[in-house]
Amino acid sequence: EAALRRGAAGPLTGVPVAYKDLYATRGVRTTAGSALLADWVPDHDATCVARLARAGVVMLGKLITHEFAFGIQFPGHRFRPARNPWNAAHIPGGSSSGSGAALAAGLVAGSLGSDTGGSIRGPAAFCGVVGLKPTYGRASRAGVVTLSWTLDHTGPMARTVEDVALLLGALAGHDPADPASSRAPVADYTAGLGQPVRGLRIGVPRDYFHDGLDPEVARAFEEALAALRGLGALVEDVEIPHIWDAWAFMAIMLAEAFAYHERDLRERPGLYGEVLREKMLAGALVSASEYVQAQRLRARLAGAMAAVLRRVDVLATPTTPKPAPTFATVHDPDFPFARSNMAPFNMSGLPALALPCGFSASGLPLSLQLAGRPFDETTVLRVGHAYEQATAWHRRRPPLTPLTGAIP
């Protein structure tokens, strides 16, 4: 109100936002979910935090993350786990678990997450909100605790595509403090939201993305495609050569995570959770040859995806192959790796948006993923907004009740 009276209001003045606890926040403890950083109070803001502050947002606090942003559930976590607002017995996804859960619960209007292999889009999918992994280099990572130098992305989450577009507009832009930051021009991401999608070409890759697909997810996805056809979009199946190269993602992430944490793993291993420590140490077993070969496969996949996106404007897939599992069953080997549909877009660096497209019979959110050409977030958001306006999934809210009993 004071800013409004002074005529100093920014585009997001007064909007309540919270940050995944990887983002440095000046004077506010930042732990990355780890005992290693339990007492770290930064003397600076991450670039994304500073940019949103200049745009006028009000920071409500920090949001729980899996330890060092590695995982989708909480074995032995030092903090109480985030719960899925749609059903507290189910996980909210990860690693931006608090960012998704807080939005679905109505605690904030926007949040920031990070996405190395799906950590924005997975929680958005499981919690029934909207999450965007922008193009690699579009939003700064300076001041955000690293998991993987070449796979990490920062990005916004909100309850609508329009709100995500507003947040991205404040976040995007070159930052010399991030070596991967791009100088590509920043668009007005809200300007094209109302444009029709008639005539836009939407490619549907079936191989890989539909492997192990739950029937309810498949049904919701086909209904989403039908809705896009009804809006005049041209939907066609496409094939992405070398799509299974996406699994080289794991070798890259493990090797880079170990490289980042090597000194602390050697000197203070007891400050890492046991499960995370084992995952990190696995990165030491990735040889230089294996890492180079993984990066070669990555480049081949990125080239194949770029070729497909010269024929279509946007790719559409289910965000996750199944709805959110329960805490009790997330270790079940029959539950597919929830990031499998998302990691290809970290490997290629392409922008990818997750948004609600239905609910399971048990009331759990289902999600549509849209991906586009490098730095063409405008088209991805345009298609997402058109679909959102033609449906009502984003208007549904979970029936919140007080938590009782033990937390799993």
Binned at pLDDT 50, 70 and 90, residue 14 comes out as: very high
Whether residue 407 lies inside any domain: the answer is no
For 288-313, what is each residue's pLDDT tens digit? Answer: 999 999 999 999 999 999 999 999 99
Q: What is the pLDDT of residue 338?
A: 44
Catalytic site includes residue 95: yes
Choose between 155 and 11: higher pLDDT. Answer: 155
Instruction: Specify the 3-state DSSP secondary structure of 2.
Output: helix
Catalytic residue among 20, 62, 133, 279: 20
Establish if 401 belongs to a structural domain.
no
Question: What are 266's two structure tokens?
Answer: 């050697």
Model confidence band, residue 403 (pLDDT cutoffs 50, 70, 90):
low
Tell me the mean pLDDT in the region 261-274: 96
250 within a domain of the structure (yes/no): no
Tell me the three state secondary structure of residue 74: coil
Q: Domain holding 124: CATH number?
A: 3.90.1300.10
Q: Which of 95, 96, 111, 148 is catalytic?
A: 95
Count up the domains in the chain and report the number: 1
Contacts 24+ apart (CB under 8 A), 182-188: 182/135, 182/136, 182/137, 182/138, 182/375, 184/135, 184/137, 184/138, 184/374, 184/375, 187/377, 187/378
Tokens of 397: 């809210």
Asked if residue 335 is part of any domain, the answer here is yes
The rounded distance, in Å, linking the Cα atoms of 371 and 296 is 22
Q: What is the pTM of this model?
A: 0.96
pLDDT digits (tens, 9 = 90+) for 324-360: 999 888 764 544 444 589 999 999 999 999 999 999 9
The active-site residue out of 119, 148, 182, 360 is: 119
Residue 11: what pLDDT?
A: 82
Residue with tokens 């007080």: 402
Is 106's pLDDT higher than 50? Answer: yes
Burial 46-83 (b: 16+ CB within 10 A, else e): bbbbbbbbebbbebeebbbbbbbbbbbbbeebeeebbb
CA distance 326 to 74: 12
CB 316 within 8 A of CB 352: no
DSSP letters for 170-233: HHBS--TTSTT---PPPP-TTTTTTS--TT-EEEEE-TTTTTT--HHHHHHHHHHHHHHHHTT-
322 catalytic? Reply is: no
Tens-place pLDDT, residues 167-178: 999 999 999 999
Q: Is residue 408 part of a domain?
A: no
> Does 283 map to a domain?
no
* pLDDT at site 77: 56
Q: Does residue 267 lie within any of the structural domains?
A: no
User: Is there a domain that residue 386 lies in?
Assistant: yes
Query: 89 is in which domain, residue-wise?
Result: 13-243+292-395
- Give the pair of three-digit tokens for residue 119: 């950590």
| Cβ atoms 158, 344 nearer than 8 A | no
Q: How far apart are the first and last CA of the chain?
A: 42
Q: What is the pLDDT of residues 109-159, one digit of tens each?
A: 999 999 999 999 999 999 999 999 999 999 999 999 999 999 999 999 999
